[in-house]
Structure 1
Amino acid sequence: MFQPSFSPLPTAFDDGREQPPEAQLEQLGHALMTEVIDVLSDTQLEDFRTLICEALIGAFHSAAQRIDRDADNQRDDINRLVRDNDGSEIADVELQQAIAKTRAADMAVVAVEAIRDAAAQAYTSATGDVWTAWKGTVRASRATAAQMEARDALRAAKARKHAATDPGATIVAFRAAPQADTADDAQRIFDALNWAHQQWPEMALATTGAKGGEKIAIKWAQQKKVTLVLAKADFDKNGRAAPFRANDQLMDLEPVCVLTLANTLNTERGASLQPFGPALNLGQKAAEKGVRHFPVKARP
C-alpha cells in the first residue's frame, strides 16, 4: 500500500492547510493516554482502567481501518476513471481530484496510526501491559511491531501458491505459561528469541498474546521490530478448547521452530504451580509434525 511521508503531501494536492507535525500527533496520543490513566488511578474506576485504556487505543485503530477502507474505495474510483477516460479536461480534473482524495486518506491513516502507537506506548510504559488489536492488521512502525491476525496470515500462506502475498517471514511459534512473568522468565525468553532471530533474521513471531510469558515475547518483538502474528484463543467459539485450537492455528502457519515455556523459571514460585497445558500441547504437536521444538530452560 502507498506509504506517505508527512512533508510533501500538502502541496501534492494543492491543499493550503498544513499537516500536523508528527511530533505533535505523537504528543497527542501520549497526552490522551496519560490523562486517562492519571484520572482513573486511585479511584473506583481503576479496576476498569485496562478496559477503558484499551478501548481508547482501539478506537484510533478502528478509525485508521475505516479511513483505509475509504481509501481503497477511492482507488477503485481511480481505476474506473482511468479505464473510462476520454481525454477530456473534465475527465482529467475528475481523475486528479480522485487521486488527491486518496492521498489525503492515506495521509490521515498514517496520522491516526501515529496517535494510536503513541497512546499504546504510553499505556505500556505506565502499566506494563501490551495493547494488541483484536481485529485487522497493525502496520509496522517505529513504535510497534506489525501485528496480524492468524486468519489473515493463513489466507496469505495459501495464496502464496497463486503468486499472492504471504506472511512475509519465517514463522517461529512461541507459547508460555501465564505464571512465567518473573525477571528470570523474561531474561530467558529474550535469550531464546534472540537466538531464534539470529538463526532466522527475517522471522515473524507467532503467539496467542496470552498474559504472562507471551506478553513478554510481544515486548521483545516490539523492541526488535519483528512482525507479530497473533492466533488469539476464541473462548466464545471454542470454550475450554480455545487455547488448543489456537495451537492448531499456530501449527497451520508451518513454523520452522517452536519455543515453549510451560512453567515459570523462578524455582520458589514454580514448585507450587502446575505446568501450563497449552504450552505442553504445542510442544507435542510440533513433535508429531517433525517441527523443531525447544523448551525454554533456566541457565545451567
Structure 2
Amino acid sequence: MTNATRSAARFSDVAAFLAEETTELSERFAAAFHETADEVRLAATDEAITADMPDACQAQLGIEMMVTTLFDLLRDTRLESLSERLAWGLVHSFHKVADQLDGEADRAARKVGDLVRENDGSEIAATELEEAQTLCQGLDEARDAVACMRDHAAEMFRIETGRPWSSPRATLASGKRTASVIAAADFLAARRARRIDAHAPQGPVVIFSGGQVWEDHAQIWDLLDALKARIPSMILATTAQSKGCDAIAAAWAARSGVKLIAFTPDLRLGKRAGFARNEAMMRLKPVEALVCEGSGLQSHLARLVRAGGVPAWFLTLAGQAKRA
C-alpha cells in the first residue's frame, strides 16, 4: 500500500467515525463538561473556583487533534514506529489522572460523612461541611470530564492504529454522575447510590474470556456488538487479563458504554485460582457467554458454560466462530 493510499484510508476512517458518532459524542462531552455547582474546589487547600468548565466542543476537538497530530508528526519518519507507544502513553496519562481524581473524590465523600455525623450545629462546623461538599462536588465533576477525554482519546488511538487501547487496570467506562446538592445528608446518600450503581451494576450478565495472545480484535468486537444489539442492557464480565482478548473486550466496553466487571484471580488459591474465578463468574447466572481460544482456563470455562446450558459463542484463533 502506498503512503498516499494509507493516508487516504486513515483519513476516511477518521471521517467516517466522526460522521457516525458526532451526535453521541457531542452529548457525551456536553454531559461530562456540565457544571453541577456555582463553585468548586479541586483540593482542600484551594480557594473556591467560579470559572466556567472548558467548552465541551473544544475539548472534544482538542483531544482529536492531540492524538492525530502525534501520528501525523511522526508518519513517514524514522520515529514512526514510536508513534503508537507515545500515543498509548498520552491516553494513559488521562486514565491515570481520572483514577487519581476518583480516589480523591472517595476520600472527600468520606470526609463529608464524618462531618455530617459530627456536626454540632455551630457556624464553624457548617462552614467546614460546606467546604467539604464543594471539594467532593469539584472532584466528581473533574473526574467525569477527564474520563470523558480519556475515553475519546482511546477511541482515536483505535482509529489510528486499528487496535484498541487497553488499560492496565479494570474498566475504562465513564459516565456522567450528577448530584443535586440540597443538604449534606442528601448529597452523601446520592453519591453512595451512584457508587453502588457503578460497582454493583444490575442487568443481564455476559461472561467473556480468552487467551493473552490475540492480535485481531475485529471479530471479537463484531460478536460483542451483536450481543449488545440483542441485550442492550448487558453487563460484561471478563477474566481481567491485561493483554490479549480481555484487553480487547475492555476496550470494546469503553467504546460501547457497557459496564464491565473484571474478575481477578484470588492468588491465595494457588494453581486453582483461575478455575475458581471461572466458577465465580458462572455464579453470576450469565445469560450468554463468549469464550475465545486460549489456555486450559478457557477450556474449563467452556465446559462450565456447556454444562450450565448457557448460550455461547466459541471463537478460535483461526477465526472460526461456533454457536452453542
**Which TM-score band applies after superposition, normalised by the shorter structure?**
0.5 to 0.7
The answer on 1:64 being equivalent to 2:136 is no
Match of 1:90 among 104, 124, 127: 124
Match of 1:23 among 46, 57, 61: 57
Match of 2:289 among 240, 253, 258: 258
> Are residues 225 and 136 of structure 1, via their aligned partners in 2, closer, same or farther at CA, if it must alter by over 3 Å?
closer
Match of 1:249 among 277, 289, 299: 277
Match of 1:118 among 126, 142, 152: 152
Assess if the C-alpha contact under 8 Å between 1:218 and 1:228 holds in 2. Answer: yes
**How far does the alpha carbon of each residue in 1:145-175 deviate from its partner, in whole angstroms, 9 at most, with x for none?**
xxxxxxxxxxxxxxx9xxx953533322234
Identity value in percent: 27
TM superposition shift of 1:107: 1.5
1:93 partner SS: helix
Match of 1:229 among 253, 261, 268: 261
TM superposition shift of 1:230: 4.1
Match of 2:205 among 171, 175, 179: 171
* Distance (Å, rounded) in 1 between the aligned partners of 2:276 and 2:77: 42
Q: How does 1:189-200 map to 2 (within 5 A)?
A: 190=222, 194-195=226-227, 197-198=229-230, 200=231
**What is the RMSD of the two structures over their aligned residues, measured on CA atoms?**
4.1
* Distance (Å, rounded) in 2 between the aligned partners of 1:59 and 1:195: 31
The residue that corresponds to 1:265 in the other structure is none
**How far does the alpha carbon of each residue in 1:128-157 deviate from its partner, in whole angstroms, 9 at most, with x for none?**
111232224434349xxxxxxxxxxxxxxx
Q: How does 1:1-300 map to 2 (within 5 A)?
A: 6-9=33-36, 11-13=38-40, 15-141=49-175, 166-175=200-209, 181=216, 185=219, 190=222, 194-195=226-227, 197-198=229-230, 200-207=231-238, 221-222=253-254, 224-230=256-262, 249-254=277-282, 256=286, 257-262=288-293, 279-288=298-307, 291-295=310-314
User: What are the ranges of 5 or more consecutive residues in structure 2 without an aligned counterpart?
Assistant: 1-30, 41-47, 177-195
* Distance (Å, rounded) in 2 between the aligned partners of 1:190 and 1:72: 36
**How far does the alpha carbon of each residue in 1:28-64 deviate from its partner, in whole angstroms, 9 at most, with x for none?**
3222222322233334443343333222211211111
| 1:258 counterpart letter in structure 2 | A
Assess if the C-alpha contact under 8 Å between 2:171 and 2:254 holds in 1. Answer: no
User: What are the ranges of 5 or more consecutive residues in structure 1 without an aligned counterpart?
Assistant: 143-159, 263-274
* Distance (Å, rounded) in 1 between the aligned partners of 2:206 and 2:83: 33
| 2:291 counterpart letter in structure 1 | T
**How far does the alpha carbon of each residue in 1:90-128 deviate from its partner, in whole angstroms, 9 at most, with x for none?**
222222112112211112112211221221121111111
* Distance (Å, rounded) in 2 between the aligned partners of 1:130 and 1:217: 9
Assess if the C-alpha contact under 8 Å between 2:158 and 2:164 holds in 1. Answer: yes
The residue that corresponds to 2:25 in the other structure is none
**How far does the alpha carbon of each residue in 1:237-296 deviate from its partner, in whole angstroms, 9 at most, with x for none?**
9xxx99x9657534422252322354xxxxxxxxxxxx9776545323433555444435
